[in-house]
Amino acid sequence: MKAVLAKEPNDYSEIDTYANVLYKLGQKDIAIEHETKALMLAREKRDKRSVRNFENVLQLMKSNQPTWQ
């Protein structure tokens, strides 16, 4: 994921994926930072669907809930 983000540092979908991987590995604080960045970028692009998804994932992360089903 680091290599992917190095090539596409503003690809919010990839940042979201990386955040979820970090979260699953127990790196909650770093995951929240990345998810927040993904949310910010999605808002800038006015991608409403991604914004809703990332807001939901961010809330789950902050409340220590699984972000996957």
Domain that holds residue 38: 26-62
Look at residue 9 and give its three-state secondary structure.
coil
Helix ranges, the chain (H): 2-7, 12-24, 28-44, 48-62
Residue 12 is assigned to a structural domain of this protein: no
Identify whether 32 is part of a domain.
Answer: yes
Residue 35 lies in a domain: yes
Is 2 inside a domain boundary? Answer: no
- Residue 3 placed within a domain: no
Q: How many domains does the chain have?
A: 1
Per residue of the chain (69 residues), give pLDDT as tens.
889 999 999 999 999 999 999 999 999 999 999 999 999 999 999 999 999 999 999 999 999 999 987
Residue 16 lies in a domain: no
| Residue 30 DSSP code | H
